[in-house]
Amino acid sequence: MDDRLKQLLVLGREHYERREYDLAEHALRQIIEKTDRFADVYNMLGVILHERGDFLAAEAHFERAVQLNEHYTEALLNLAVTYNDLGKYEAARHVYSRIRRGEGGGGVLDPFARGKIANMHADLAQAYADAGCAQEAIAELTRAVALCPTFVDLQLRLGTMYRDAGNLALAREHYAAARDANPKYAPARVLLGVALLSLGEPDQASAEWREALAIDPDNRTAKMYLRTLEARRSGGVVSGDPAPAAAAGGAWDALDEATPTTVSDILSKTTADAAGETDRAARESKP
């Protein structure tokens, strides 16, 4: 390797690590004009192109990186994610299976890889859900949760998928897992309370809502649920805001079914907040 090529490699990698992508690209493209034998150069260029939203060009660079080194786990992960972004779900699944086969008898990769793969499964679950394939969506999200059980947003999404499918026991299990992953996250306790009431456990539901209010005294949803439940118990009339209605569960019929707000409305905000808590970008970054 000549000195100029060595200098470009060092320069390109340094700029890349500092996320100075324009400078990194300038050096890296000079390298591939001289030689095409560095898999990491193609991988870095692929990341830069993916960051800009040029998924087709990124795909070509990741594929070249994998051709040069079929065991290049990071390039394989990046390729799988890019296939997913392009809607090539079967191709993404195939690459993921290659990663799994390369693991031998060991555990499932490192935290960086688990986060990447979990997000890929979650994206695929959303695609299935949008297409009306509920069971396939549940299966993909179950894989995501198995990889990263402490991701609160994934647990909440899976719990709600089970709730919408009528499986309140599993909905409760995943809402509880979200609560346990972050006991100070009040919205998880709100949704867990809904599941508990739907399962005929009003005392436990009330306890979760009270705890949510202890964490977040301004949590309007917990206040409405708790006030409505207590009014129904006493045979009184609820004053103030109407309580949201639940999507399933006979016990929840005691609440006002005519109100426009649903648990799904609450969930959309709850999961968005949970995603902010876990910060997808941060959890995908290397430690």
Nearest to 178 by CA among 190, 169, 166, 167: 190
Three-state DSSP string of 15-30 = HHHCCCHHHHHHHHHH
Whole-number Å distance between alpha carbons of 71 and 98: 9
**pTM for the full predicted model:** 0.56
Question: What is the model's pLDDT at position 243?
Answer: 40
Whether 269 has a pLDDT exceeding 60, the answer reads: no
- Structure confidence by residue, pLDDT tens digits, 4-13: 888 999 999 9
Q: Assign 211 a pLDDT band (cuts: 50, 70, 90).
A: very high
Handedness of CA 244, 245, 246, 247 (dihedral sign): negative
Nearest to 78 by CA among 88, 63, 97, 90: 63
Q: Which residues pair with 245 in a beta bridge?
A: 262
Q: Assign 101 a pLDDT band (cuts: 50, 70, 90).
A: low
Whether 271 has a pLDDT exceeding 80, the answer reads: no
Q: Assign 72 a pLDDT band (cuts: 50, 70, 90).
A: confident
Nearest to 119 by CA among 93, 99, 94, 147: 147
Residues 69-73: contacts with CB under 8 Å, at least 24 apart: 69/39, 71/102, 72/39, 72/40, 72/43, 73/99, 73/102, 73/109, 73/113
Strands in 177-240 per DSSP E = none
Q: Tell me how crowded residue 18 is: count the other CB atoms within 10 A of its CB.
A: 10
Local structure of 231: helix, strand or coil? helix
Nearest to 209 by CA among 194, 201, 198: 194
Are 176 and 191 spatial neighbours (Cβ–Cβ below 8 Å)?
no
- Structure confidence by residue, pLDDT tens digits, 147-203: 888 899 999 999 999 999 999 999 999 999 999 999 999 999 999 999 999 899 999
> Distance between alpha carbon 207 and the CA centroid of its chain, in Å?
28
């830069």: which residue's tokens? 48
Locate 5 and state its tokens.
């090529």
Question: What is the model's pLDDT at position 281?
Answer: 38
| % of the chain residues with pLDDT over 70 | 77
Are 124 and 140 spatial neighbours (Cβ–Cβ below 8 Å)?
yes
